[in-house]
Structures are given as C-alpha cells and as structure tokens.
Structure 1
C-alpha cells in the first residue's frame, strides 16, 4: 500500500483521506465506534465534544502521514467507495460522503465490524476495509471560528475550531490588551501555545488558514475570561 496516499476511514464515519486539492486519490477506509458517534468525541486534534466544536459526527481519522502532526486538523474530504478495486463488492455505487478531519487513525486492518449509519452511506457493514477514492474539498461551517482556552498562568493553550474554507490553521497569533501580537506555535493537534502571562487581559487572535487567508479576530475574549472557556466569533474563512 502507498502509505503516503492511503487513508483509513474510521468511525460513524471517521475517515482517513489525503490532501491533494481538486484531485481524486485512491485509499482505503475502515471504521470504529458505535452508532451514536460517542467514540468519535475527543481525538488527536483536541476538539473535545465535536458537536460543541462545530463538527458533529461525520468525521475523519487520518493516517499518520496524512495527519501531518495535526496540521490537517479540520480539513474536509469527500469520499466515495471504489467498486473497481479488490473489496469493491462491498461498495454502494454512486454514493459519497463528506467528512471533517478530527482525529489520528494509525492503520489497523483487524478492526471489528460494526453497523454504523455514516459508514453505510458508501459501504456495507460486513466489510472491514473498503477501497475508496477521496479529495480535499472546501469546508462549510455554521457560525464563526471558535477559540477554546486551556493552560495556566504563563502558559496558554488555544484550541482553534470550526474553520471554513481550507478548514485548518497554518499560523496563529495572540494579543493581550497590553501587548503586541505574539506568535503562537502548534503544541499538538489543533492546539496552539503561547508562553505569555495574559491572565486578566482581553484577548485578540490572528489566524492564517492553510489556504493562505489571514483574519484578525479582535477583542474576542473579555479581560475576565477563565481557563476552560470557549469564545465564538462572527468571522470565518473563505479559503
């Protein structure tokens, strides 16, 4: 198998796809979890409750190569079962589904079969692994970008959620009422860190999407914020 181009569909539909825009790529898909989608919550992107973060249960767990250390978190992919390849007898011809990347799914071809609603959009439940084709597509989200704050004192960990357009974060900055712009670095998944003492200051953010669009989210967080809170904006990305 070409690991760099494989993807493993995991979940209620958790999928594993690759990033080559406007081009269909071959891969494989499997699944995990129960029909209520509870096993898709959390994950290696750090989104926590995926309903609250804007992603729901149609999600993708990417292979390690495609996950790119979390750089692909939030990206959207359309997947179709490929009936022309071995295993294609388990495909449902002419069907496809669009999912968001929210987790990491190392290859495991011994996963148990479970009947899952989203999985059954493109394949039949008897199949453990099915051949698919997939491509990255534009994300459409409800509402604006969200910033969830964790950490303590001089360590801020910001989970950046619900991006439209390319769906994922390329670079991020934070600004307190009494500071200039401070560049953050990726800690893990969709979590970005700042080693700064910003408690007691109102916060603004700036984000460049992996599609190259730059947006400033000014005065998003009031000075009385607390760790564990999430703040929603009215701005989002187009690309």
Structure 2
C-alpha cells in the first residue's frame, strides 16, 4: 500500500474510533419515549389519616396546598428522606405491593426515616392506600415497591404566587416520572430563559420581574426528560392563580 494511502486509512480509522468514543461517553438527553417502571425494592409501610383520607390534605413537606393535594386523590404517601430527596422526589409515583394487594400512590409529603428493624425505605400511606395492600390492624408491614409512570389527565399545572420582585411557582399534575428536578421560565419580551431555584419541596422561585409578559415554562423530570409549556401564562396573568398547559409528558 502506498504511504499516503496508509496514512489516510489510519486517519479515518482514528476518526471513526474518536466518533464512537464521544458518542458513548457523552451524557444523553432522554426526550423521547415514555417513562419505564424501575426495579422492585424492599421497603415497609405505615399509615396515617382517616379511612376516607382525611387528615392527609393539609399540605406538608412538598409545599402542596389543600386543593393541590386533593388533586392527587386519596392514594398518596409520605416517603422517607432518601426518596423525598430534599423535595426533588415530590410528585413521583410508586407501585406498592403488600400481602393483600397493590396500590399506586403519589409522593406528596416526607415521612420519618426507616423504622428500626425494618428493611428498605419507609412509606407512610394514607389509610385508603394502606387498606389496598394490607389490613389496618397490621400497623407496619413489609412491602415491595417500584417507581412507575404517573398517569395524569390534562396538561401540567403552574400556580404562581408572590410579587413582582419575588415570584414563587408550584408545578403539579406532572406525568411521566412525576417529579420535577429543574424549572426554567421565559417571557415573550424582556425575560430570557431563566433557571428558577428550588425554595423547598416543589416550590420554585426567581427574583426576575415576570409581570406583563406571557410566560413559558420548561420542566425537567428526574429521568432527564423535558417538557415546554409555551405561553401557558397569558400576558395578563395574576398572582394566586393556577394555569394549565395543553400538554404533559
């Protein structure tokens, strides 16, 4: 083989190898397909509230208000500190399996740490959820659980409160992974894409003046999928109101 042909061949081979390396090691963005259920894990469950779910809709560590908690229904759970993850786990959905059956619950609060002598993560279930998996007299029971896709009706909801110098946004009714790990906002004029900061639970804040503009939000869930709610808040939006997008995950 001629020297220049050998050199060209080696260059192409190295270029091909480099391309493969970059493709393999680069961090992927998962913006397609649907959320897939995770593996089964060991855990344990307790219960709180009444048989009708009363006593479980007064808000909690996720920051949801009464109506927001009620929108998740009575099948909810407070999850232990690891799954709560400083608020990043709020809104996630889990399939919980006990000796009697299974229940799919949404994480809306934080539970105490795992109970001594019990395996895995702690789920403090509402009574309606607990009764689907075991008997009330059991009190505390071993379970298996896995993270599953959240199935929601309608689009993502955004509740905005505060004032022009301090905007607070609560994101609810999130499908797919259900949790929210990052949130950005953009106006239709002066406000460029701006990352919002987690205040606590699922409350996000920015000191940008957002008034007088149509607002677009971009949500990223724990599985790195993103959804953009274009102009979900009209230019005449008002503090204290909830606005619903047309799309979800």
Report the alpha carbon displacement of residue 108 of structure 1 after superposing the two structures with TM: 8.2
4+ long deviations beyond 3 Å: 50-54
User: Is 1:171 the equivalent of 2:182?
Assistant: yes
User: Is 1:183 the equivalent of 2:195?
Assistant: yes
CA contact (8 A) 1:67 1:104 kept: yes
| TM-score where L is the length of structure 1 | 0.79
Which of 203, 214, 222 is equivalent to 1:202? 214
Greater helix fraction, Structure 1 or Structure 2: 2
| Aligned-partner SS, 1:117 | helix
State the match for 1:227 in structure 2. Answer: 239
Q: Residue deviations 1:103-138, cap 9 Å, x none?
A: 1111486xxxxx933321111111221111100011
User: Bigger shift: 124-133 or 100-109?
Assistant: 100-109
CA distance in 2, matches of 1:175, 1:181: 5
CA distance in 1, matches of 2:70, 2:173: 6
User: Is 1:123 the equivalent of 2:134?
Assistant: yes
User: Is 1:106 the equivalent of 2:112?
Assistant: yes
CA contact (8 A) 1:29 1:129 kept: yes
User: Is 1:79 the equivalent of 2:85?
Assistant: no
State the match for 1:149 in structure 2. Answer: 160
Instruction: Provide structure 1 residue ranges, at least 5 long, that are not aligned to the other structure.
Output: 1-19, 82-90, 110-114
| Aligned-partner SS, 2:136 | coil
Query: If you compute each CA radius of gyration, which structure gives the higher value, 1 or 2?
Result: 2
State the match for 1:26 in structure 2. Answer: 42
What is the CA RMSD across the aligned residues, in angstroms?
2.1
CA distance in 1, matches of 2:70, 2:233: 17
CA distance in 2, matches of 1:53, 1:181: 32
CA distance in 2, matches of 1:125, 1:52: 23
| TM-score where L is the length of structure 2 | 0.76
Aligned length: 203
| Aligned-partner SS, 2:137 | coil
CA contact (8 A) 1:54 1:141 kept: no
Taking a change above 3 Å as real, the CA distance of residues 53 and 221 of structure 1, as seen in their structure-2 partners, is farther
| Aligned-partner SS, 1:28 | strand
